[in-house]
Structure 1
């Protein structure tokens, strides 16, 4: 059984623009992140990054996780390991 979902992108009909209002900004980020995380895109994109860029992306994401979600949410929502 698959644990991960990308349902938002399948149903999204919004503008995909940043700076209009908070709701559109949030939807745009969700759209970009789901498109960004597609296997076929990452397979092409990741090898083009330098070691430093890989580290920057990892540290940015890890920092945001630590700032905005608790340990239980990290395991339940992000890792889905429980």
Structure 2
């Protein structure tokens, strides 16, 4: 495979932190669902179904002093970020 044993071991340990897809969904986040659609793993009907059923986290807000906004995981921002996925 062209990968050393230490590199393989490190890569396998990194997979322990990858969240599993939610039950009934093809991804662990709206972004992942969109990425799976972009890659051709799910069709448009499934994409729309999953994104409309997703329980979105609250979108972040500023503290009134700066414009830094940090959204909760699973917020609608993940769908907006997925718009940046470029098709080849």
- Structure 1 and Structure 2 fold alike (TM over 0.5): no
Greater relative contact order, per chain length (Cα 8 Å cut-off, separation 6+): 2
Q: Which has the larger radius of gyration?
A: 2
